[in-house]
Each structure stands twice: as C-alpha cells, then as structure tokens.
Structure 1
Amino acid sequence: MPTADRSRPRLVGAADGTPYRDLNRNGVMDPFEDPRRMPAERAEDLLGRLSLAEKVGLMFHTVIETGPDGTLLDEPGAISKSGTEEVVLGKAMNHFNVHGLESAGAAARWHNRLQELAESAPHGIPVTVSTDPRHGDAQNAGASWATSFFSLWPEPLGIGALADVELVRDWADTVRREYTAVGIRAALHPVADLAADPRWARQRECFGQDPQEVARLVAAALEGLRGAEGEASVQATVKHFPGAGPQKDGEDAHFPYGRDQVYPGGRFEEHLQPFRVAVEAGAEAIMPYYGRPVGLERGGEQIEEVGFGFNRQMLTGLLREELGYEGVILSDWELVNDNHVGDQVLPARAWGVEHLTPSQRMARILEAGADQFGGEECMELLLDLVRDGTVAEERVTASARRLLRAKFVLGLFDDPYVDESAADDLVGTAADRRRGHEAQAHSVVVLHDDGRVLPLLTATGSTRIYAEGVADEVIADLGVRVGSPAEAEVALVRLGAPFQPRDDLFLESWFHQGDLGFPPGLAHRLARIRTDCPLILDVDLDRAAVLTSIVGECDALTGSFGISGAAWADAISGVLPPRGRLPIELPRSMEAVRAADEDVPGGTADPLYPRGHGLEIDQVISSRR
C-alpha cells in the first residue's frame, strides 16, 4: 500500500505577494494554483500536467466510510470496497460518497484528515465529499441517511406538500450551511422525478407528481444549495434523468425485476420537464437512472432499450445536444460490476446490456456520454481500455476537464479545509432545528375529520391518552399515557404506510415496495379502539397508500412525511397548524392502481384523496362550531 507523505503544502506568496497553495511543491505558482485565474483556465493547465492514471482516478466516485472519532479507515468498511489510503493514493481517486457519520465534530476531523492525505498525491488534487440526503428521518443505505446532528426537516414529499418556494430555498440553504461546515461539498440530490406510479418505492425523495410544481421546487433547491456570492456552495446532482417515476408495475430499477421504465400514457415529456428547468437553472451535475426505456419513441426515433446510463440517445442526444447541458454526468451506482456485501449480492444494474463484460459496459457508459462511474473503483478496466485503443485518451480528458472545473468552481484547490472546532456549533443550531420542526408540523395533511377532535384540546398534564407509535415524551407534553383505550379520553396512533417486505437482494429490505393496502385486520383493531374513545390516526406516507379500509374507523386522519412525533403533536393540537396539501394522489383501491398507466401522474380512477387535498385547521375549527 502506498505510504502518504503527510507534509502539507504551505500557503506561500508569489513574487507579487499573492498567497497560494504550492500543491505540486515546485516553489512556483503554476496557473492551476493561481487563485486569480478562472476555473476553466486553471483546469486546462492542470490537465496538461496529469498522468493518464490521475485523469482516470477523477472519473470514479464511490462509497467511503469513516473510522472512529474522525479517523481515516485503513481497511474496507461495511460497504466500501477498499481502505482510504488505497483509493486516494493507490487509485488516485478524489470523489467519495460518505456514509455513516458520528457527529459534526468527528465528520469535520475526518474530512480534514482526508484532505491532508490527498495533498500528498503528486498534484494535491483535493477530495470532493458527497452525500445522499441527510435532513430527513429515512434511513436507507442506498438512498438516504438519518443524521441526528443535522437539523431535521420533512422528507422532500413533505416539502412538496407545502409547495412554498421560499421554504425550499431556506431548507436547501440550511442543508448547504450544514454540509459545508463538515466538509461535504456535493449533494447527491435534489430528486427531480415525478411520483407518478403510486407503488414506486422512492416517492418520499420526490417533491410530488405535478411537473410544473416539481420543476419550480427543484430550481429553488438548486438556488439554496448554491448559496449567495461569496458563500461556500454545494454542487447539486439532479437525479434521476430523464425521470425515474414511471417504473413498470411500480417496481424499482435498483433490482432486476424493476428494470423496465414504461410510457403507456405517452407522458415522457412531462417527466423530462423538471430536468429541462434544472438545466436552465444551472445544474452542475446530473445522474441518470438505472431503468431502461421500453417501447419509447421520440421524434420518430425508437429509443434503444438499454439503461439510461448506457443510452447515448438520452445522454448525448437529448441531455447534451438538445438541452445544451455542459455539466458533469455521474452514473448511478454499480452499472459495471456486481455488488457483493457480506452474503448478499446485487447484480450490476446493466439493464439491457447484461450480456456485456464489465469492460464492455464501461466503454458503453463512456460512449453514451457519462463522465463518472458511480459506486465503482475499477480504474484498471478504464486504463486497459485506453491502452488497447478502445477508448481514446481524449475522451478521458474531456470528462476529467469537467470534473476538475467543478472542483475549481467550489474553491477546493484554494482551501478545502473546515474549522473542526466550530463544526458542532454550526450544525444543528437551535434556530435551524426550530425551523425544521415548524416545517415538519406545517407539512402535515389533514385528510379527514368528523368535526369532533381537531384541533386536539388537552387539559395540561391530565388528559388521559392511549397511544401507539408515539414516544412517551411526546405524550407527556399532551397529557398522561394510559394502558388501554377504555381508560383514555383520546387515542393517538401513528402507522407507517403499508408495504410488502423483501430481503433477497442487497439493499432490497430498505425499499418499501409492493401493494399499498393495509392488512384486513387493521380496520377491525382500529374500530375496537374507537369504540372506547375518539381516535386520531396518522399514516407516514413515504409513498402512496390505499386508506379506504381505515378512513371510516377513525375520527381524524392525517398524512405525514417523515416527521417527528413532537411535530405531529404540535400540528394536531394547533400549536403549529397543519397546512399541507397532498403532493400526490392517494388511490381508492389496488384495482385502480393496477389499471392506471405507470407514467401518468395522478392517473388512478376516482382517487380517495386527489392531489391538492387537505383540510385547514381553520376549516376544522369552524366545522365544530
């Protein structure tokens, strides 16, 4: 394993006094080290100095894990394939998606050590640390991380329930400030997909199902992540081009049974709309999805039925040439190799090109137009492709140019370090947590109320409450927990949206898939509770749900989007009145779902609750007078 030279390039002065970092340690302020020059000029100068291996290293973006208390991990982790020094120095890689983090302080310490290690490489190229979303409560090793030391907000579907551009900017700006405080400079979000098929497992990451509304909120999110002039910015990766929502039978393209993306309703352009707006808004990076388009024709041309990451018609023809996109294209994870973790495996998402070898798949991805391989670190495959003439070095250089320019735009070459001593104070401040809590409460959607229980008026410290799925400390703020509905004055029950558990493939258990209906016994159990006391029921809508069987068995029904019990309590008690409107429709039956076209947003017949439905607290109050 290579040994790192821990000596750090000093901040020195050029002949005219301009301070710079002598990254290649030659005693001269080379153009790429000159902070006065433009990013494109600096990137071009550095490109001419890099070896083929260094340029190839730029093109891999994989998982990295941290050691305890902010140390570097010297061996493979739970998911990461190699130790830190091996990927940074041995493979010349410098783009990493970080997984679990202990605390803000530990994350900042780890980040600075990582940058210090990177400085010992021949040209000191700084690391770009990226992350999946961290500001909601969903934990999914393939899509998001619940991170308690950040401020907590509704999931994006809940942000969409409020449809407030200023709120989105505030949320995204808070994400930017908290990310940059610990060294994270690239967000693998926002999601610009439409939550079209009610069964799809990734709806909670979307802003909703309306193309114009989603486009408007994505543009606001990009603005917030970018920050104001002079502020540290976060490079946003908009995903999943050209819209991942219309999966056949609502299955997810992470898995072989969900590989097909279909457009029976002819709505491809609606799914594309948020990406058009994102490109116009200056998106710095875009990620195509795994799915392969089946039966799609566009402009009289039949689209090849291969995954979007392999699809030249989509990435070069549509994204680059038609939409005029000039930024980075980052493939989704593991398109080249199977992923083995413990005793589980997930096949490479090489949908439509499963018969190709890993080297052939890599060549196809480059030919399609992508710049970076997500989740891979097999740089030897690309080196061999260049050496044998299959891939021209100029093609590698073109992607390396985009990737270097992005680092210069972020200012990483001039100062990639963060203040370790300040991180804990800058992240998860009381003010940011309060705004996140308020947004959570306001995002609650009141779906149904019979006029008896909302807002929940409790006698301080004495109201007897039977509860399921609500923490003791939340009940203590409302009244006294009792052990049975017969003893209670009111029952509070919170449930997750229904799904069919699966766990045969790696990551599969994290994705809530399958039918949307509750088991038949639930309605009976809720009715028994309601026999003894009024019942307020909440369903956590990480995707759509069929609520038809249970809506008649409760006095009030709310939908929430990954929020805390305390925020829900503030909403139903009117402390922070619920203002949410459904960003997706809730279908009446599974029969209606199966009969609908997967690509048509809001396409089920006679939905139980249409998109936009939601009762206001004032309406609820007036109905009780």
Structure 2
Amino acid sequence: MIKPVKLLYGSVIALAALSSCSDNTPYRDLNKNGKRDVYEDSREPIDKRIDDLLKQMTLEEKAGMLFINGTRINSDGSIDDKPGEGMFAFAPVASKLMTEKYMTHFNVWAVPPKKVLATWYNNLQKFAEEKTRLGIPLTIASDPRNAFSNNIFSMTANDFSQWPEPLGFAAIGDEKLMEQHADVARQEYIAAGIREALHPMADLATEPRWPRISGTFGEDARLSAKLVKAYIKGFQGDKLDSNSVACMTKHFSGGGPQKEGLDPHFEFQKGQVYPGKNFSYHLIPFEAAFEAHTAAIMPYYGIPTDQTSENVAFSFNKDIITGLLRDKYKYDGVVCTDWGLITDAKMGDVVWPARAWGVENLSEEDRVLKVLNAGVDQFGGEDCAHHVVKLVKDGKLTEERIDQSVRRLLRQKFELGLFENPYVNVDEAVATIGKDEFMKAGEAAQRRAITLLKNDKVKDKTVLPLESGKLKLYIKNINATVAAQYGEVVAKPEQADIAIVRLNTPWYPVETKNFFARGFHHGDLDFKGTQKDSILMLLKTIPTIVDIYIDRPAVIPEINENAKGLLADFGASDAAVLDVIFGKAKPEGKLPIELPSSMEAVRNQQEDVPYDSKEPLYKFGHGLSY
C-alpha cells in the first residue's frame, strides 16, 4: 500500500493529490508574489480547494472530467495495454484515457478475483498520481454486483456476498435489512476501491414485460421509496464522506412505463408512454432519493412521450433536467447520462446506434451541446471530450458552464476523501470482500425473500414444508449433490414420492443482429409449446413443487393449477430454495408485483399504472407462510 505524505503542518494528503511539479507539493496555485500556496490541512473548506484546483485545470482537463467510460482489467492487476487480454478485452485501457483524454472516472463490469482487483485499482491510482499533471484521483464506479443473479445488469458476484435482487428486498419489505445489505455492499466496494454505485434503481415495474424489473423494488411507489431511502443511507451514510460510496440513483424520472415493455437501449424502442396520465407517480421514489441526499442522478434513454415541450430523450430534455430536476426539486448533485448517447458502437458488422432518441439527426458535437444545455454534468459510456473542447473554442459553449459541472464532480471526489487517500489495503480487501458474516447475511436474505404462493392441502395437512430425509426426490434444474442433503434423489419421476422443479420466467429474444439486445429478457411472459407441455406433463404425473425465479411477472395459470406447491424466488441458490421447501427456513416474501392471469391481461394494462391487470393470478402483496 502507498503511504500518504505528511506535511510540515501534520495533515495527511495522499500521493494522488500531488501534482507533477518538481517541488512535490500538493496541488496548488501561485499567489500574488509568484510563490506556491500549500494547503495546511485537508480541513480547508472544500469550496476553496475546488476554486484553487479549477484555476489550475486546462480546458482539456475539465472536459475530460465530464466523461466516464468502462475500462479493461488485466488478469494480473497491471494497467498496461495488452490487446485481447483481461476482463472485457474490447474495453478501452484506463491509463490511455487518462493521458490522452484527461479522464478521471471509470466504471468496471466483470472483475477478476478480489486481490487482483484491489491491486489493479492501486496501480491505476498510482499512475494518476505519477503520470498526470495534476494528480487528480480517480473515481471507480460499478453496477450492482451483490445479487445472486445472471441478470445482464447485475454483475456476477464472484467474491462478493450474494443477496437477493432488489425485487427480493421489496418482497421482504424490511428497511433495516435493506440498509444492512447496502452497508455490507459499501464495505466490499470500498475495500476494492469502488467509490460510486451506479444504483439503486428507483424505477417502478408498472409494465410487466420490461426486461429490467428485477433491478427495481417493484410496482408500488411507496414501498420503493422506503427502500430507496434505506439503500442510499446504507451506501452513503447521513452525508457523503470518506466512509461512503456515492449512489447514482436511476433512471430519472422513472424508466418503467416502456411501451409494450421494449427497452430503449435499442432503436426498436425510443419512447415511454403514459396512457394512465401517471407521470407524477413515478417521481415518488426519486423524491425519497433526494431526501436521502443521493450523490448523483442518472436519467434514462427514452423519450417521455408528450410530457414536455419537445419529444426528446431525458438527458437531452431541458424541461426534465433543468425544469424538473434542478429547478423544482432543487437538486444540485451530479447528473450523468446513461451509457452511449453520443457515439455509435461498432460491433463487427453490427452498428449499435447511439441512444440519441429524438435528436438522431444531430451531429455528435451538437448532441453533446444539447445534453450540457439541458443541465447534465457527465456523459456515461463516452470518451469524446474533444467535442466539449471544440464547442468552447468555437464560442458555442462557455467555460463557465463547464466549470459548473466540473465543480460538482470535484466536490464528490473531495467529499469521498479521495484527495486525502485514494488507495486501498490489498490485504484488507481480501479479508473484507465476501467474508463469512457477509455471505451468511446474504444467504439468509435469499431465504427470507422467497414467496410462498400456493400450498395445497392433502388430508387436512399442507404439502409444505416437506419432511427432510424421508422422501424420494425427482429434481429438475437443481444440483443433485445439494438435493441429496434433503432426500434420496432418483432418476425417473415414477420412482419418486415428489418432484421439485426450478423454472425461470419465460422470455423471447427480439429478432436483431445486436447480440446484446438478444440477451435482454423481452417478450411474452408465458411458457409455450413443447416447453409448456413437458412441464405440465410432469406436474400431472407426480405431485410437484415448483419454484420460479421472478425477474419479470410470469404468466403461469396452468402451472399454478397443477402444482401442489408454488414458490417464487428473486435470486436464490438451490440450498436457499430447498431450505424453505423442507422447513429449515420460512418463506417471508410478499409479492412486490402482481402476477397476471394471461398475456391478454398484460397487453391490456396501462404501462404507467401499477397493479392494473384484470383478475390477476396473484395480487400485489400476496404471500403465504408456515
């Protein structure tokens, strides 16, 4: 670990706060006599420190701060440019973006083991200190990585503790548990050097086909608001400081009401709709985020159709960013776009268009100008700082406007204590990330979130819980070694006393050449054809307990009718599910979304209105226990 430098006055300033000047003093400015002013200690008011640093920054350095992009992580923790090597090998190399584009913000996707991750992080901060002019420390951000999930937006947990997805916390509805989870994730993030969380999602799951429902807290605005507030408190504390991870709450002003559930990451969906005139309902969780002082806000991709003076996407929309967010809510934190609004992404022979919905005909440079004029501070998934520089030099944008955004971004770095000490202790990272008490807490939460939907009676006794060790089990989509701890696993249904099956909510890929789009869980929510027939055949052959992973509200009336017991999970291991089935843990979950009775009912719903499907199979809030 790099140790901080002690100044004459006894204060501690990390090496990352040093500039490249030969006298090795902290970042500084020249006073009237041409001599260098050095801060006596880190308690100097932040505003003064920001003013001082802003005076030293060139236009290019300021422009670079307005961009955050993903970066490659080499498998040995090094930061060299090794083509084709490391996690997300297609991603740019951070050190190159630091020196060529003056960037100081990066996000990580899949990551290597925790020791390598912490080593890489320290190497990158050391590079910032030694190889950049002002030595401004880096801010590393991440999507969620503590969920037991394969969801495309939940980074594989790897060494991190594994909890249910946000939808599972909504099923539990316990604010204290929500804060505990966030506090554990905070400790793991800080240990690895991740100081900004690209979450929580405050969106509401009012359109059941939307692929991102598992990342929400369901469709009820009050429940979501309560959990969003606890979540942010767990990550940030009462105020942002050196023990905090800054939260970037998303996606303002609510990304849930997508037309027919299609997602605006892609050109086949550019606008969200409000047939129920329910725009304000989707603001309620964000109001809770503001009360919790969320450090940053991310708007979504789509166009809030017919809700503002022009039909352009949220980050280009001055009515949304300045009129609503800045003026009405008085929000003065960082606002960062979602990823990839300015430049097209080329993936072999496939072009993934920039998500510049409503302004597709604008040049890249004019898109940047429109985003900044709307009131946004930072561009996600981009590194085109040259557009900002040119806009200023051409007189289309003032440097004072850039300073407003840079000031917000610098403030966040100062408040997080990155200028005092940006480094992590690698040994502490190894000891903290995924430690036993964190893992056990996550596993317990997985069990609590499981929701018992149906429990048939046989001779006045409910089927569940089953009696451990007494039954012959036929299993499907369950690890046989794990299941053998609960009963005798047999090879054929006719040999078993009971079957236990795990299912996933159905989805059907959109027809497109974009492989990323094909991975989104779009489409209908019901099982079809031979897949449905084989499930029902088993259920009619032998008494069967069904557990279904709910990342969207499954439409399963026939499965429900024929199953002896039906459970829903929101990201859970086989052991967690079997513990509940066999009574070693009790199901505590209540549905945070309703389960519709048919796809016709889904298609007739209004995208912006909660719990409005006709005669749902299970209503919002349903959940049994024993």
Which band: TM-score by shorter chain? over 0.9
1:378 and 1:231 mapped to 2: Cα distance? 30
CA spacing shift, 1:123–1:454, aligned 2, 3 Å: farther
Q: Are positions 1:612 and 2:607 aligned together?
A: no
SS in 2 for 1:258: coil
The answer to whether 1:248 aligns with 2:249 is no
Q: For 1:338 and 1:28, how far apart are their aligned partners in 2?
A: 42
Structure 1 unaligned blocks of 5 or more:
1-7, 297-301, 618-625
CA distance in 1, matches of 2:238, 2:291: 18
Flag the 1:480–1:304 CA change in 2: closer, same or farther, 3 A. Answer: same
Structure 1 pair 597–79 and aligned structure 2 pair: CA distance change class (3 A): farther
Report whether the alignment pairs 1:224 with 2:234: yes
8-17 vs 271-280, which deviates more? 8-17
Contact in 1 for aligned 2:202/2:285 (Cα 8 Å): yes
CA distance in 1, matches of 2:257, 2:191: 37
Give the direction of change, closer, same or farther, for the CA distance of 1:231–1:14 in structure 2 (3 Å limit): closer
Residue 69 of structure 1 and its aligned partner are, at CA, apart by 2.5
1:438 deviation in Å? Answer: 0.8
Q: Is the 8 A contact 1:293 1:304 kept in 2?
A: no
Q: 1:576 to 1:39 in 2, by over 3 A?
A: farther
Equivalence for 1:621: none
The 1-side partners of 2:611 and 2:9 are apart by 63
Q: Tell me, yes or no, if structure 1 residue 166 matches structure 2 residue 176.
A: yes
1:341 deviates by 2.9
Partner SS, residue 477 of structure 1: coil
SS at match of 1:145: coil
1:548 corresponding residue in structure 2 = 557
- Compared CA separation, residues 227 and 276, structure 1 to 2 (3 A): closer
Alignment-mate amino acid for residue 446 of structure 1: L
Query: Does residue 501 of structure 1 match 2:501?
Result: no
User: Would the alpha carbon gap of residues 527 and 331 (structure 1) be closer, same or farther in structure 2, given more than 3 Å must change?
Assistant: closer
1:127 to 138, 146, 150: 138
Task: For 1:22-37, list aligned pairs within 5 A.
Answer: 23-24=18-19, 25=21, 26-29=23-26, 30=28, 34-37=41-44
Partner residue of 2:604 out of 595, 602, 614: 595
For residue 509 of structure 1, report the CA deviation from its aligned partner: 2.5
Percent of paired sites with the same residue: 41
Whether contact under 8 Å (2:4, 2:421) holds in the other structure is no
Distance in 2 (alpha carbons) for counterparts of 1:186 and 1:175: 11
1:276 is matched with which residue? 287
Deviation at 1:76, TM superposition (A): 6.1
Residues 540 and 562, structure 2, Cα contact 8 Å, conserved in 1: no
Deviation at 1:71, TM superposition (A): 1.8
Give SS of 1:255's match. Answer: coil
Distance 1:172 1:12 in 2: 32
Structure 1 counterpart of 2:268: 257
In structure 1, the residue corresponding to 2:56 is in which secondary structure?
coil
CA distance in 2 between counterparts of 1:493 and 1:384 reads: 59
Cα gap change, 1:9/1:136 in structure 2, threshold over 3 Å: closer, same or farther?
A: closer
Amino acid at match of 2:302: G
Q: 469, 483, 487: which is aligned to 1:475?
A: 483
SS in 2 for 1:447: strand
The one-letter code of the counterpart of 2:114 is A
> Structure 2 counterpart of 1:488, which letter?
A
Q: Which residue of 2 aligns with 1:491?
A: 499
Q: Structure 2: which amino acid aligns with 1:433? A: M
Query: Contact conserved, 2:2 with 2:423, CA < 8 A, in 1?
Result: no
* Structure-2 separation of matches of 1:342 and 1:135: 32
CA contact (8 A) 1:60 1:377 kept: yes
Q: Tell me, what secondary structure is at the counterpart of 1:69?
A: coil
Partner of 1:55: 62
Match for residue 117 of structure 1? Answer: 127
Q: Please, which moves more after superposition, 508-517 or 149-158?
A: 508-517
Partner of 1:623: none
Matching residue's letter, 1:456: P
1:32/1:384 CA distance change after superposition, 3 Å: farther
> Could you tell me how far apart the structure 1 residues matched to 2:439 and 2:24 are?
47
Matched, 1:313 2:319: yes
> SS at the partner of 2:454?
strand
Residue 139 of structure 1: how far off its partner (Å):
3.7
Amino acid corresponding to residue 102 of structure 1 in structure 2: P
Q: How far is 1:532 from its partner?
A: 4.0
Name 1:425's counterpart in structure 2: 431
Deviations 1:124-180 (A, max 9, x none): 111100000101133455x22112211100000011101100010001001100100
| Matched residue, 1:4 | none
* 8 Å CA contact 1:66, 1:73 repeated in 2: no
> For 1:46-195, what aligned pairs fall within 5 Å after superposition?
46-75=53-82, 78=88, 81-120=91-130, 121-139=132-150, 143-195=153-205
Question: Under a length normalisation based on structure 1, what TM-score does the superposition of the two structures give?
Answer: 0.93
Aligned with 2:48 (options 41, 58, 68): 41
Q: CA deviation at 1:286?
A: 0.2
Mapped pair 1:329 → 2:339 = no
Structure 1 position 228, deviation (Å): 6.7
Query: Aligned equivalents of 1:289 and 1:562: distance in 2?
Result: 25
- CA gap of 1:140–1:517, structure 2 versus 1, over 3 A, is closer
Q: d(CA) in 1 for partners of 2:387 and 2:242?
A: 39
Cα deviation, residue 225, structure 1: 0.2
User: What's the secondary structure of 2:337's corresponding residue?
Assistant: strand
CA deviation digits over 1:165-211, x for unaligned, max 9? Answer: 00100010011001001100000000000000011100000011111
> Which letter maps to 2:183?
D
Match of 1:365 in 2: 371
- 8 Å CA contact 1:32, 1:46 repeated in 2: no
Once the two structures are superposed, what CA deviation does each residue of 1:17-36 show, in whole Å capped at 9, x if it has no partner? Answer: 33334601444454668411
Contact 1:158 1:443 in 2 (8 A): yes
Within the alignment, does 1:458 sit opposite 2:464 as a pair? no
Tell me, in whole angstroms, the C-alpha distance in 2 between the residues paired with 1:309 and 1:128: 22
CA deviation vs aligned residue, 1:375-424 (integer Å, no higher than 9, x gap): 00111111111111111111111100000000000000110111112212
- Which TM-score applies when normalising by structure 2? 0.93
Q: What residue is the counterpart of 1:513 in the other structure?
A: 522
Which of 385, 391, 396 is the equivalent residue of 1:385? 391
How far off is 1:231 after superposition? 6.0
| More divergent stretch after superposition (65-74 vs 151-160) | 65-74
Q: Map 1:332-347 to 2 at 5 A.
A: 332-347=338-353
Asked if the contact 2:148/2:165 (under 8 Å) is kept, the reply is: yes
Secondary structure (helix, strand or coil) at the match of 1:40 reads helix
Deviation of residue 61 (structure 1)? 0.4
Q: Which moved more, 1:591-600 or 1:132-141?
A: 132-141
- Residue deviations 1:59-118 (CA, integer Å, cap 9, x gap): 000001200122225156646543232111221111101122121111100100010111
Alignment of 1:561-580 (within 5 A): 561-580=570-589
SS in 1 for 2:457: coil
Match of 1:620 in 2: none
Amino acid at match of 2:575: A
Q: Distance in 2 between matches of 1:378 and 1:158?
A: 38
Letter in 1 for 2:384: C
